Structure 1
């Protein structure tokens, strides 16, 4: 199954602004992980970027998951890009 990498950006003051949406966000990610779609995801140490790896049948599935996330819907994530990834090792 294809793998996809996701790079995105966080809004300013993310630690404060994400609070009302954090639990729903984490619950959704846990479900994606349980379903075997999400490999890993997390912020950079400075909390300006998010990086994730997904395993899905197509890019549209990944985009749908991102755009359904409370962080995207509430502008905590401000932009993202998805690229199909070839895992060499």
Structure 2
């Protein structure tokens, strides 16, 4: 399986705006983690960016996971980029 990194941006007032979608978001991430496709995910300290590492068959799979996430569907994540990652160490 190939590893991918995802960088994304959060909307303004993210703490307030994410509240209605947070539990569904976390539940979905837990399922991805259990299945092995999600290695890690989290926000930057200033809550402006999100970073994730996935292990998937292809980039399309990662994009599908991002785009079906409640944060993407409800504008909490405002943009994202996926890149194939080579883990050196």
TM range, smaller chain: over 0.9
Structure 2: tracts of 5 or more residues without a match = none
Distance 1:43 1:53 in 2: 12
Across the two proteins, how many residue pairs are aligned to each other?
Answer: 89
* TM-score normalised by the chain length of structure 1: 1.00
* TM-score normalised by the chain length of structure 2: 1.00
Structure 1: tracts of 5 or more residues without a match = none
**Helix, strand or coil: the match of 1:23?**
helix
Distance 1:32 1:63 in 2: 13
CA apart distance, 1:59:
0.2
**Helix, strand or coil: the match of 2:46?**
coil
Pairs within 5 Å for 1:14-29:
14-29=14-29
**RMSD value over aligned CA atoms?**
0.2
CA apart distance, 1:68:
0.1
Distance 1:21 1:46 in 2: 20
